[in-house]
């Protein structure tokens, strides 16, 4: 299975579990406000820039595209650069489509929604404080920077950092650090809250002439 780096990083990110204690700011209140703000978001659309560093490869890569979310459980990530990739998840499964390679990989949706993962929160299926302990919360300019420490120490995730707008507690980005020294940063822009989205966005049909690698039946 040939997964290119941006999609691979995303798949690693969404299968990790997310982060608790009080600091100078009222950390608990700030994180609860971030959760509350996201609870009022039914649909979400934004552009994103993903900056990834894979220590084992000794390289960094920048990717960008557009994300669409409809809660609960529906997401679509369209990578435009450096390589075209499409990630679609719904109640039936998760698809990673590489148009230039004419290849689709299908996986169980439980592979990203089982346990507590960043994907659970983004897709409206989880609560931050159920999955993470609240670490240090600081301010930088117009942002709150909230460190979240995973409750499950068996997971690869060491720390997740949420970036939230101080005016409205809206998430504008996140950083993920794992125990292998890898880091992934996702920054959102042109954010639209509760836009009217066509549910066909979250359906996937394998195009003609495209190879399907079906891993959804694997235990």
At 85 the pLDDT is 93
Three-state DSSP string of 17-78: CCCCCCCCCCHHHHHHHHHHHHHCCCEEEEEEEEEEEECCCCEEEEEEEEEEEECCCEEEEE
List CB contacts of 154: < 8 A, sequence separation 6 or more.
none
78 in a structural domain: yes
36 in a structural domain: yes
CB atoms < 10 A from the CB of 59, how many?
Answer: 10
98 within 8 A of 1, measured Cβ to Cβ: no
219 in a structural domain: no
How far does the chain reach from its first CA to its final CA, in angstroms?
17
CATH code at position 117: 2.50.20.10
Rounded Cα distance between 70 and 41, Å, is: 9
Q: Which of 38, 59, 50 has the alpha carbon at shortest distance from 78?
A: 50
131 in a structural domain: yes
Q: Which two tokens stand for residue 48?
A: 């994103």
At 176 the pLDDT is 85
Rounded Cα distance between 188 and 31, Å, is: 19
Whose structure tokens read 């089982």? 114
Q: Give pLDDT tens digits along the chain (219 positions).
A: 555 555 555 554 554 433 333 335 789 999 999 989 988 889 999 999 999 888 878 888 899 999 999 988 888 999 998 889 999 988 888 899 999 999 999 988 766 654 435 565 676 666 788 878 999 999 999 999 999 988 876 567 788 899 999 999 999 998 888 888 888 888 999 999 999 999 999 999 999 999 999 988 765
Number of domain units in the chain: 1
Long-range contacts of 152-156 (CB under 8 A, 24+ apart): 152/17, 152/115, 152/116, 155/16, 155/17, 156/12, 156/16, 156/180
List CB contacts of 168: < 8 A, sequence separation 6 or more.
37
99 within 8 A of 84, measured Cβ to Cβ: yes
At 201 the pLDDT is 94
**Domain coverage including residue 46:** 5-214
At 180 the pLDDT is 85
31 in a structural domain: yes
């Amino acid at each position: 299975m040939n997964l290119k780096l941006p999609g691979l990083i995303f798949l690693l990110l969404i299968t990790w579990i997310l982060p608790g204690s009080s600091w100078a700011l009222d950390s608990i209140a700030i994180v609860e406000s971030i959760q509350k703000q996201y609870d009022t978001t039914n649909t979400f659309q934004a552009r994103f820039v993903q900056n990834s560093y894979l220590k084992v490869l000794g390289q960094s890569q920048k990717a960008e595209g557009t994300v669409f979310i409809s809660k609960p459980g529906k997401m679509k990530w369209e990578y435009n650069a450096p390589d075209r990739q499409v990630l679609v998840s719904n109640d039936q499964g998760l698809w990673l489509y590489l148009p230039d390679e004419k290849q689709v990989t299908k996986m169980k949706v439980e592979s990203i929604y089982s346990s507590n993962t960043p994907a659970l929160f983004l897709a409206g299926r989880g609560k931050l404080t159920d999955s993470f302990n609240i670490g240090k919360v600081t301010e930088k300019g117009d942002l709150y920077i909230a460190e979240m420490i995973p409750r499950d120490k068996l997971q690869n995730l060491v720390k997740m950092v949420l970036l939230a707008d101080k005016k409205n507690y809206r998430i504008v980005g996140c950083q993920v650090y794992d125990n292998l020294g890898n880091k992934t940063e996702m920054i959102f822009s042109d954010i639209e809250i509760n836009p009217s989205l066509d549910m066909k966005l979250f359906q996937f049909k394998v195009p003609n002439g495209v190879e399907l690698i079906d891993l959804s039946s694997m235990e």
